[in-house]
Structure 1
Amino acid sequence: MASVYRWTFALLLSCMAGSALAAGNPLSVHVLNLQDGLPSPDVRVTLEQLKGDGWHALNESVTNEQGRITALFPPGRALESGTYKVTFKTGDWFATHKTQTFFPEVPVIFNVDGGVEHYHIPLLLSPYGYSTYRGN
């Protein structure tokens, strides 16, 4: 029983540390696998910004053990109002786990209006469906 409490406490501290890191970066993501209810580590995620002539790459990262990227926006740059796209490379992740999927990637296009300091995009994932929303 004590190990359950230690694990729960460690998870709580990890989440708090992730939140503290995210506070300094305007964009974070989180991937949870709905099939088993666990975080999805090692999902490659790209970030692009829509400019006049198309999408321009800004950054790329991989989710940590908690399925999070706490700082996806490039350091040293200001988050401008506009349209952005976060793409979760889900096909690669499912292939690594020897699971077929209908969605090789999940693009999430969203608008930044400057109304908040931090944008969080969670992805709830299964092999044949997904859901996302504006988190905080």
Structure 2
Amino acid sequence: MHFTRKTLLATLVLASFTTGAAAAADAKNPLSVHVLNLQTGVPTAGVAVDLEQYKDHKWIKLASGTTDSNGRITGLFPSGKTMSAGDYKVVFKTGDYYKSVKQPSFFPEIPVIFHAENNGGHYHIPLLLSQYGYSTYRGN
């Protein structure tokens, strides 16, 4: 297969645009999560995560995802929707994860409840995880 310089340049520009567009779409998503293993110091892939919103005196499931090879879900909020002010809950399904790697765990799931302001900002919820403990905070 022979590429001309013009064809190669167009391919590179298209690939750059596609990668940039995907990154921009993720960047616009108002919610991301990251799970790091405190025992090994590496990201934790394969953790299922649910997002819920507290509305009308009950929790309503909005989305689900699974952490990637970097331990991240870069866009957990439903695509094309706007995050309104209110209370949200990210539920890390840690018991299922530890079961899948054949290790015991004290926490079957870890719910992280947070309040979002109506400012269009980004919320990042990191989870530092071990079998018998965890820590979380608002990241960026």
Q: From 113, 118, 127, give the equivalent of 1:114.
A: 118
Identity of aligned residues (%): 57
Structure 2: how far apart are the matches of 1:114 and 1:42?
A: 31
| Structure 1 residue 52, shift from structure 2 partner | 1.4
Q: From 40, 63, 68, give the equivalent of 2:67.
A: 63
Matches within 5 A, 1:8-47: 20-47=24-51
Structure 2: how far apart are the matches of 1:38 and 1:76?
A: 32
1:23 partner SS: helix
User: 1:47 touches 1:58 (CA, 8 Å); kept in 2?
Assistant: yes
Q: What RMSD over aligned residues (CA atoms) do the two structures have, in Å?
A: 1.8
Q: Give the 3 Å change call, closer, same or farther, for CA 81–40 of structure 1 in structure 2.
A: same
Q: Which runs of 5+ in 2 are unaligned?
A: 1-20
Q: TM-score, normalised by structure 2?
A: 0.81
User: 1:124 touches 1:132 (CA, 8 Å); kept in 2?
Assistant: yes
Q: Give the 3 Å change call, closer, same or farther, for CA 125–19 of structure 1 in structure 2.
A: farther
Q: TM-score, normalised by structure 1?
A: 0.83
**Count of paired positions:** 121
Moved over 6 A (4+): none
Structure 1: how far apart are the matches of 2:125 and 2:106?
A: 21
Q: From 99, 103, 106, give the equivalent of 1:99.
A: 103
| Structure 1 residue 121, shift from structure 2 partner | 0.2
- Work out whether 1:123 is the aligned partner of 2:106: no
2:64 partner SS: strand
> What is the identity, as a one-letter code, of the residue corresponding to 2:139?
G
| Structure 1 residue 22, shift from structure 2 partner | 3.3
Matches within 5 A, 1:78-97: 78-97=82-101
Tell me the alpha carbon deviations over residues 97-130 of structure 1, each in whole angstroms, 9 at most, x when there is no partner. 1110100000000000134521000000000000
Larger Rg: 2
> What is the identity, as a one-letter code, of the residue corresponding to 1:26?
P
